[in-house]
Amino acid sequence: MSALRKVLVIGSGLGGLTLAQSLRGGGIDVAVFERDASPWDRPQGYRLHLDDDAVNAAREVLPGHLVALFEATSQFTEPFTTILKTDLSVVRRLPAHDDHGDVWPGRENRVHANVDRATLRQILMSGLDDVIHFGKELVRYEDTPDGVTAYFGDGTTAHGDVLVGADGIRSAVRARRAPHLTTVDAGITALYGRLPLNAARSRVPAEALQDIFAIASDDRKVFLGLGSVRFPTAPARAAADHSPGTAVRDQDDYVVCVVGGRHQFFPATGDLSGERLRDLAARTVADWPGLAADLIRQGDAESFFPVRMYTSVPGTLDAPTNVTLLGDAVHAMTPTLGRGANLAMRDATLLGRTLRTVAAGDRELDEALHHYERDMTAYGFSVVRQAARIGEQRMAQNPLPE
Ligand SMILES: Cc1cc2nc3c(=O)[nH]c(=O)nc-3n(C[C@H](O)[C@H](O)[C@H](O)COP(=O)(O)OP(=O)(O)OC[C@H]3O[C@@H](n4cnc5c(N)ncnc54)[C@H](O)[C@@H]3O)c2cc1C
């Protein structure tokens, strides 16, 4: 394989943007191609739980002023999940199990933060205006003697030495690079919405809003999850938010609320308005004692949206080519552990490090991609299995096929 001059990244999710920041920081020519017409085309969720992987990835790939903005807009939490009874009283606080191997030597360990997804994406996009191309849906790619050519739905093409599929769970890149790797329905639907923080404060114990997440579930394995997102250091945020083009939108503190379980409890959610989804969420826990249904009814009706959960089926990648994958494009998982974005950002940072050594002439591309793919699939699919096991226990997720 040839030396590294240009990297094409398909997808501007958290993984693709992290990789673009890393490559840009290393002086490598990178172009990102995004199917959506703009960054805010569709709702992509609210709160994200970040652990050592995403926090240290952001600290490694972003320039200093964006690291400051990232820190200032993160709510660093206690390293616990609060387990609640259905009356929303506390049963216990489960410590998080942090095992990130030796990926982040010299950096902070056992760190947990709740962040607003749109804010994080905005920070990761900062400074990349000339690199990201919107309205570019990859439809196919072809290997050529000197690299790889990407073909887009609008009839345009792009050429690079390496193409990275960071295009999420329905990856078009994976469909060609690793067609044997599949995803399956996890059997779970979840309804997500936002509550004002004050409405939650008066109805749930304080721990539930300090920890990573709080969760209650019933005999049907229907669950209610709550995770707060606060912007705790407004002055620091204002101070950090100084460079043109990086201003993050004003946000009120909020609590993300999720009600989920087997599909049968949430029929035909695709056709329902936000208000009807909020009502369905509240009705699903109406038999619970205490304030669960009342709490959900405090939610912003427009904010509710449904998610049908899918998971990757673990497998292997064939010998490396100059096309590789990261994040949900290869190892999507159910959000039981809150780790999908963390792994996407870990993959992107490790791939960025690897490609930088290739660009510096210290390593051959095929050998570098071989090591990246071997490590990434090992830890990625291990977490997919772990998420599925916990999902089976806690929310009756379908077992992974053998
Ligand atoms: C409701 C919900 C809550 C979650 N909570 C957490 C959490 O708390 N913590 C956590 O770590 N993870 C969480 N996850 C998982 C996390 O969101 C994903 O793992 C993460 O977003 C994956 O990032 P990615 O960059 O690999 O893919 P994505 O974020 O899916 O980005 C893929 C991008 O590629 C683009 N694209 C797709 N196809 C094409 C194409 N053909 N051409 C060009 N562009 C294309 C898409 O438009 C998209 O912008 C949650 C997921 C959901 C659904």
What is the residue-level pLDDT of the chain in tens, covering all 402 positions? 447 999 999 999 999 999 999 999 999 999 999 999 988 777 678 899 999 999 999 999 999 999 998 998 898 998 999 999 999 999 999 998 877 778 898 887 889 999 999 889 999 999 999 999 999 999 999 999 899 999 999 999 999 999 999 999 999 999 999 999 999 999 999 999 999 999 999 999 998 998 999 999 999 999 999 999 887 555 555 555 544 444 555 567 899 999 999 999 998 888 899 999 999 999 999 999 989 999 999 999 999 999 999 999 999 999 889 999 999 999 999 999 999 999 999 999 999 999 999 999 999 999 999 999 999 999 999 999 999 999 999 999 999 998
- How far from 75 is each of 119, 229, 256, CA to CA, in Å? 12, 6, 13
Could you tell me if the CB of 227 is within 6 A of ligand 1? no
Distance in angstroms (rounded) separating the CA atoms of residues 21 and 57: 10
Q: Which two tokens stand for residue 155?
A: 């009839």
For residue 387 and ligand 1, the question of a CB distance below 6 A is answered with no
C-alpha triplet 118, 123, 127: angle, nearest 5°: 135
Roughly what angle, to the nearest 10 degrees, separates helices 340-359 and 52-61?
Answer: 40
Start-to-end C-alpha separation, the chain: 35
Q: How far is the C-alpha of 145 from the C-alpha of 291, rounded, in Å? A: 64
Residue 237: what pLDDT? 55
List CB contacts of 58: < 8 A, sequence separation 6 or more. Answer: 18, 50, 67, 70, 120, 123, 124, 345
Say what the pLDDT of residue 110 is.
84
Q: 6-395 is classed in which CATH architecture?
A: 3-Layer(bba) Sandwich (3.50)
The verdict on the CB of residue 12 being under 6 Å from ligand 1 is: yes
Instruction: Name residues whose C-beta falls within 8 Å of residue 271's C-beta, 6 or more positions apart in sequence.
Output: none
Record the pTM: 0.95
Classified as helix, coil or strand, 366 is: helix
Distance from Cα 340 to the centre of ligand 1, integer Å: 8
Residues 6+ apart with CB under 8 A from 166: 9, 10, 11, 12, 13, 15, 16, 19, 325, 326, 327, 329, 344, 348
pLDDT given for residue 243 in this prediction: 46
Domain-wise residue ranges, the chain: 6-395
Q: For residue 180, give Cα distances in angstroms to 326, 362, 384.
A: 16, 33, 17
Ligand 1 near 30 CB (within 6 A): no
Expressed in angstroms and rounded, the spacing between residue 328 Cα and the centre of ligand 1 is: 6
Helix 117-125 and helix 14-25, axial crossing angle in degrees, nearest 10: 30
d(CA 112, CA 300): 26
**DSSP-H helix ranges across 8-127:** 14-25, 52-61, 64-72, 117-125
CA-CA distances (angstroms) from residue 48 to 104, 114, 212, 226, 307? 20, 6, 10, 12, 15
- Confirm or reject: Cβ of 132 under 6 Å from ligand 1: no
pLDDT of residue 401: 93
Sequence-distant (≥ 6) Cβ neighbours of residue 298 within 8 angstroms: 195, 196, 199, 200, 203
Distance CA 384, CA 332 (A): 7
Atom of ligand 1 nearest to the CA of 12: 49
pLDDT at 294: 97
340 lines ligand 1 (CB under 6 A): yes
Question: If DSSP codes are grouped into helix, strand and coil, which group holds residue 155?
Answer: coil
Rounded Cα distance between 8 and 32, Å, is 6
